[in-house]
Amino acid sequence: MQQSFPDDRPLAVVAAEAAKCTDCDLYRNATQTVFGEGPEDADVVLMGEQPGDKEDKSGHPFVGPAGKLLDRALEEAGIDRSRVYITNAVKHFKWRPAGKVRLHQKPNREEVNACRQWWELELAAISPKVLVCLGATAAQAVFGPSFRVTKERGRFTTLPTGVEAVATVHPSSILRAEERRDAEFADFVDDLRAVAGRLQR
Ligand code: URA
């Protein structure tokens, strides 16, 4: 585990700094930095991989199809989205052109590491009870590269900062699941219900 939340600058200050970030090359092809959003006193931080096409254009995290699915899952799990802070491990959209569309590309290790400073500062400012990593990129950024969501989803681990962290699947993987989609969605809601349970303690 590689955790060292460095300081507690207010989120607005951190967001303004992140908006100018050129620490890796992803800013070159992205429309803008998509910083996290939500209350500074949120009990839960959800962390995805990186903004998608819609998020890149709008500047807001999880507003596209994956975000809609996430909204539904949070509601079913009894977690109020307006009380959740939602962010991404990487703050710029990485894509390649395919005809008229921009195809998502997975960020590499250096890109994820270059962005680590931003989510560490987000967590330091928010101090949530629970951090939920959505998918492998976020989970490996937090728990290390050998973490496997398939094997270790739903397992709560207390980070050195005292935050309880857990990983589950990325909502996009549910959208891609086709005939297993309902079952995958139900498992995702179960993982989020376990998060809701932690908040009651
Ligand atoms: N997928 C992510 O990981 N984050 C977003 O903001 C949107 C889609």
Give the model confidence (pLDDT) of 18-30 as tens digits: 999 999 999 999 9
What pLDDT score does 163 carry? 97
The reply to whether ligand 1 has any atom less than 6 angstroms from the CB of 107 is no
Q: Which residues pair with 87 in a beta bridge?
A: 47
Over residues 105-133, the pLDDT tens digits come to: 999 999 999 999 999 999 999 999 999 99
What pLDDT score does 1 carry? 47
First to last CA, the chain: 25
The reply to whether ligand 1 has any atom less than 6 angstroms from the CB of 43 is no
Contacts (Cβ under 8 Å, ≥6 apart) of 17: none
Contact 89, 49 (CB under 8 A): yes
Q: Which atom of ligand 1 is nearest to the CA of 89?
A: 3
For the chain, where are the E strands, in sequence order?
A: 44-48, 84-88, 95-98, 101-104, 130-134, 157-158, 164-168
Q: CA nearest 168: which of 141, 187, 146?
A: 187
Contacts (Cβ under 8 Å, ≥6 apart) of 77: 189, 192, 193, 195, 196
The mean of the pLDDT values for the chain is 96
Measured in Å, residue 160 CA sits from the centre of ligand 1 at: 26
* Rg of the chain on CA atoms, in Å: 16
Let me know if 104 is exposed, middle or buried by CB neighbors in 10 A (0-12, 13-18, 19+).
middle
CATH topology of domain 11-199: Uracil-DNA Glycosylase, subunit E (3.40.470)
pLDDT of 6 above 70: no
Q: Which atom of ligand 1 is nearest to the CA of 34?
A: 6
Segment 83-104 mean pLDDT? 97
Measured in Å, residue 24 CA sits from the centre of ligand 1 at: 19
pLDDT of 196 above 50: yes
pLDDT of 37 above 70: yes
What pLDDT score does 73 carry? 98
The reply to whether ligand 1 has any atom less than 6 angstroms from the CB of 48 is yes
Percent of the chain with pLDDT over 70: 97
Q: Which atom of ligand 1 is nearest to the CA of 49?
A: 3
Q: Which atom of ligand 1 is nearest to the CA of 171?
A: 1
What pLDDT score does 9 carry? 84
What pLDDT score does 201 carry? 82
Over residues 178-192, the pLDDT tens digits come to: 999 999 999 999 999
The reply to whether ligand 1 has any atom less than 6 angstroms from the CB of 122 is no
